Structure 1
Amino acid sequence: MNTLSLPALHAFSRADAAALSDERLLEEQRAFAAARRLVDAGAAAVAAEIAARSDRSLGVAGLAQGRGARTPEALVAQLTGVSVRDARTLVTAGELVSTPAPGLEPLAAAVTSGDLSVEAALAVKAGLGDSDRVDPDARAGAAERLVREASGLTLEQLAARAREAGAALDVADVPRREEQLRERRFLTLTPLPDGMTRLSGLLDPESAAVIRTAVDAATAPQRGGPRFVDRTAAPEPHADDTRTVPQLLLDALVDLITVATHADTGRVLGSKRVGVRVHVSQRDLSTGTGFASIEGQTAPISIATAQRISCDAGLIPVLFDTDGRILNVGRTQRHHTARMRVGLAARDGGCTIPGCARPPDWCEAHHIDEWQRHGGDTSTDDGVLLCRHHHQLLHAKCWRIVRIGSQYWLDRGNGDRVPLQHRNPTATRVHPPPRQ
């Protein structure tokens, strides 16, 4: 039975590191890295064996299901404390080491000996590809060369060289691999409990080039150190700009999108005029006290920010009077009906049925006094926002929405009345919700 040969390790603290000379410090870092490579190689081998003993064909007799785990990756995650995704990486790496594909034997040997990390081996494997048109000896030669180069490269640099080598080995496979990357592209915006929104995603190479080139052009003069006003000007530090580089990148992206929405003629955004709507009471705006809110966002903003935005032609201030009614919805919408929808969105914040979280853009305007049956007017006072589901449900059930003063209620016709929700914090501030 083989045993791991590891450098002498102990619980190592920052104080221990501080006591080392420069050369010894670097040596210690190399020792830990070598130990980690060996430990990860062993963990990958064990994970692959766990997966083999948990094969689906074994059913509940398999190792993973026999221990109460749904998959071998889930069992590995439980045993190691890593994520299921990292456990899957261990299993994949273990399979690479134990049964390498033709031409990838150099990677398996390098991982087993501790010369190559698990992550580096998988990056090289992905870069070289799995096309059966490539001669295994040619792939093995490329793998050996990459293993030799790996010690002086970062993981990203090694992966880039592996992709170049893979393209050279099979030029005909480049379009397929390009499409694979394109299919993985995505963007998500996730609201967080503290009012921030997390932006995450993946860019395929072409999309990344478009965005990175534009952002780099917008931020290059601001990236650290001296900043140049133009090519002939002397460098001048901007001590008053305390933004970090990541903050500069985000601000540049927001500016680019703002300019694009103003310039768009319907090609991307269709007929809808895009603008950020700020909801604020006339009283708070004039006195400079209180707070405002941005449509679609949950965190309040200061009156100073609302005043700044109200001066920006690209953003729309929405003013409320002391009864919670809309005073002004801006002038970016030409048609009256569109402007009324802006007002409804500002007041209601989305579907007004309690418990429904559909945003304004997913809603339809409902006449509380129907246009044909009751001769109702088209106005913000006699309209509410409902998502399609609740709009259809209301008509199917013959429910009514009634307005008493400035309050709106859902009347189910059996004596049961429920107050409608208005999720706009500014509207709630100037006019509290009704009590049941």
Structure 2
Amino acid sequence: MRMTPLSQAELLDFLDDVHAAQQTLHAAVLHAVREVERRGIPAGQRAPSLRAWLRGRLRISTKAALRLAEQATLVDRDPSLDAAVIAGTVNAEQLATIAAALAVLPASVGPQVRDQAGEVLAGWAPSLGPAALRIAGRRILDHVAPELAEAEEERWLRGSERQAHEQRTLTLSPIGDGRVRVRGILDSEAAAIVTAALDPLCKPDAAATEIAGTGETRTPGQRRADALTEVCRIALTGGRLPDNGGDRPQIAITVSYDALRNQLRAGHLDNGEPVSAETVRRLACDARILPIVLGGKGQILDTGRTRRLATGSIRLALNARDGGCVFPGCDRPPRWCDAHHIISWTLGGPTDLANLALLCGFHHRVIHDDTGWQIRLADDGHPEFLPPAWLDPDRQPRRNEYHHRPRPHLRT
């Protein structure tokens, strides 16, 4: 279908309207599915289940049929969520994410709290994509039942850690042509240790670049492969790992100030992966752990310094505060980001947390290319952006919700 010429504003409005109508039609399908089940049509036609009946009737996969059945039950039980789907503020993919989040709530959560959780998640849907909504769903108890959240978070983290540890594996399989395929799975703690060891050796070879004058020719994957080999060579020869930005490789564990003062509880590694209180206590026995202490609103109070130079500590604290590129909607992790000076260093801006923000390479260029975006720290100490006037005439502040994690509950 070829559309008649539309202005940019008209085209965007048309896209929004059609998408909203598509979600409303999805709601109508869910209502029909629920009514089919209520009338007992699948059983009357000798189908073994509603899922099997839907699969045959609509010619869809078993997975898609199961999703329809689950969502139909969910919106039938929760009128507020049903209304959000009908209005198009919750799309089909977000509804699947909400259903999955509610399905894993513990048995101790009553119907009222469960319904409230669905309502809160539906309220977040207009500003969160499915991935971010999935993260929000994992921490929903922090918002609707904080008295249950900490115990459930610890139970979930310990179960996840136990499962990840049990499933750890590493294989080296000769292909037969001089290559060896490396495959494996690590738990979060082990992955953080391996990453901390590899990172200092994964940088482009500056010396070779200066000598050859042609720049680094290795791909990132090749540099990681070389780094793994070099780490093993160093270990075999009894050597020591090189410095990383002025500090030895180390793991950062983020905990709240109250927890540090009283009793350690759940925290998260510097790559954002959550760890249980048991793991925090065990890792805290190692003098190489660098604690990042947070205040009640998540402000970083102390980064703990193992050397006089603060560069490494500031970067770790910046990673912990921002969680990745802070540009709205970006999902790039801290290791892919630059430390951007909000007030340029050349204009006297200091290199400290109050003047720094993580930006990936692309969005770092966006900020420096004078596209109209402005970055600043809000009153709570976290970065926010003022969009250009062409995008939002009112220039309402925007934030990246993708990396957001409540403190001190860190189930992400």
Q: Which structure is larger by alpha-carbon Rg, 1 or 2?
A: 1
Where relative contact order (Cα < 8 A, 6+ residues apart) is larger, the structure is 2
Pair in the same fold by TM > 0.5: no
